[in-house]
Amino acid sequence: MAASIREKQTAALKRMLNFNAPPLKNTTESVWKVLIYDRFGQDIISPLLSVKELRDMGITLHLLLHTDRDPIPDVPAIYFVMPTEENTDRICQDLRNQLYESYYLNFISAISRSKLEDIASAALAANAVNQVTKVFDQYLNFITLEDDMFILCNQNKEHISYHAINKPDIIDTDMEAIMDTIVDSLFCFFVTLGAVPIIRCPRGNAAEMVAVKLDKKLRENLRDARNSLFTGDTMGTGQFSFQRPLFVLADRNLDLATPLHHTWTYQALIHDVLDFHLNRVSVEESQGSEASPAGARPKKKNKKSYDLTGADKFWQKHKGSPFPEVAEAVQEELDTYRAQEDEVKRLKSIMGLEGEDDGAISMLSDNTAKLTSAVSSLPELLEKKRLIDLHTNVATAVLDHIKSRKLDVYFEYEEKLMSKSTLDKSLLDIISDPDAGTVEDKMRLFLIYYITSQQPPSEADLEQYKKALVDAGCDLSSLNYIKQWKAFTKMAATPANYGSSGVKPMGLFSRVMNTGSQFVMEGVKNLVLKQHNLPVTRILDNLMEMKSNPETDDYRYFDPKMLRGSESSIPRNKNPFQEAIVFVVGGGNYIEYQNLVDYTKARQGKRVLYGCSELFNAAQFMKQLSQLGQK
């Protein structure tokens, strides 16, 4: 299996931390060094390398660039920062203050000639030219969250958000700047991937602007043969030795319902209801584990953070599972763990019996072996216990939200709206039911109804809905924007088709309903998902499999390797693609990511990566829609 983007970016970082030489396998001696990064650098490193891994690579200290740092004169310093004005100024200041023995400057994205000259003149003035050992452009300006998922940035993400791209009063120069930022990161992504893609995009929106700029940037780099980043040794190791990947640029406006959708899979639920970003989730936990009597004041909450990483096998296996399955799986893990723990306790008690009992002596010989194996499996057991506790806490926190907000009801109802199946109760009932969900949940449900309806509701009906929403305490500014959007998009003629999804309730939970379970699931529906493709997945399927479809036939085709020639005359690739990258300009979510993962699982030998300019959950997206609606 070719290396994933996560492995590639991690390898690039490790190389950088080893002074840009490939890390040696057998040497235990590593040079002690200091890592200086800015917030961008921190966001790139933190999902990929733990503090322990940094320490193993000889990083004793890791500090932010813009903090007060004490001089450590006999240690080399590795800088990993964006090439911004203030960062280069600060580096010059470090050189003047002679903070470190030597400086390895790594820029996350390519640094301009003029800024390099500033650093050079500062080094000259500070008489530190010899100490600036190396200067590198790393082309790592993107954040990898999963083996097959990346986002562009976490800092300043409001500059390239859906709101920024779609605000009505945007001026051309701002739009250019946003597009350049996105293209710079995508360029870094392809350099790290080691592949030149074939680009497809729809016409007449932000995605097209990104495609044109990216095509130009890749082309210019390929043409400059001496300095091309896509030649020689890096290309040979690319994943795509024979075939180039397909790069599909989609625009968020093609599907506004999915980001608002209530979801039912574990990872997407965590992102929706808890505070989850850059693979770290924060959970409020109540003090004391005993349940407080009904009606008692809730105890003071404190926050706990957990990292959900690639090393966590339970997470890797279940992040895409429907929540009820996750609850059962946590319970099973807990039961097996308890059985193992009891075994260790039992052995201990037998070992304590040495002197008193003749029978015990004969048991000793085979028990010694058992005890040895039990002791050697202790670290493993403790790690297992840590993961079980982590998922018990996270899943319980999610379950509290599901129960208090009736999220299962919302999820089922929205799935029916999106697949145009018959509804079992009226929308007004849910909106006006004070127990069903928060104000935001009601608004999300209504917006999905509005976006997916073939005919917009009549004025009279709309007034009635609006009144119910306002009575429930909703802010209607997001609806104003969606109304304009719907009137404006050509999609209004053909509403996005969400596939015939279906949710079958499977009776209530069997195993989890047992009284011994951690999770009190009564009253929550056990919904099972049927596979269906969301609009983004469907577009990818058409383009990857070369299917003819009115939706995608008009998509533009760019091949940066072809030096000249108009779009129509470019010889096109006719075979289906094996590898593809889908990128959503304007923001993405875990629901689409999961949908693509499921799509790929069903197809042997295909690989799909998902990327987006920012990752938002429904609450953050609603906020952007409301801001747009207030203009």
Predicted local confidence at residue 515, as pLDDT: 39
Predicted local confidence at residue 516, as pLDDT: 44
Report H helices in 278-406: 313-318, 323-351, 358-376, 378-405
Instruction: Write out pLDDT tens, residues 162-176.
Output: 999 998 888 999 999
Predicted local confidence at residue 547, as pLDDT: 87
Residue 375, helix vs strand vs coil: helix
Rounded CA separation 149/6 (Å):
8
Token representation of residue 69: 């740092």
Task: Look at residues 408, 407, 392 and name the one whose alpha carbon lies nearest to residue 438.
Answer: 407
What lies within 8 Å, CB to CB, of 287 at 6+ separation is 299, 300, 301, 302
First-to-final CA distance of the chain: 50
CB burial of residue 442 (10 Å; 0-12, 13-18, 19+): buried
Task: Look at residues 495, 499, 527, 611 and name the one whose alpha carbon lies nearest to residue 210.
Answer: 611
* 179 alpha-carbon distance from chain centroid: 21
Distances (CA, A) of 303 to 10, 298, 309, 401: 29, 15, 19, 16
Angle, CA of 17, 276 and 329, to the nearest 5°: 105
What lies within 8 Å, CB to CB, of 72 at 6+ separation is 34, 61, 99, 100, 101
Token representation of residue 557: 């085709």
pLDDT-flagged residues of the chain (< 50): 1, 233-241, 287-296, 354-356, 358, 361, 491-495, 501, 505-516
Q: Return mean pLDDT, the chain.
A: 83
Predicted local confidence at residue 39, as pLDDT: 94
Rounded CA separation 108/31 (Å):
23
Residue 580, helix vs strand vs coil: strand
Predicted local confidence at residue 243, as pLDDT: 75
**DSSP state string for 436-500:** SS-HHHHHHHHHHHHHH-SSPPPHHHHHHHHHHHHHTT--THHHHHHHHHHHHSGGGTSPPP---
Task: Look at residues 503, 535, 531, 541 and name the one whose alpha carbon lies nearest to residue 598.
Answer: 531
Predicted local confidence at residue 300, as pLDDT: 58
Rounded CA separation 547/531 (Å):
20
Count of CB atoms within 10 A of residue 154's CB? 18
Instruction: Write out pLDDT tens, residues 208-246.
Output: 999 999 999 998 888 876 777 776 544 434 444 457 899
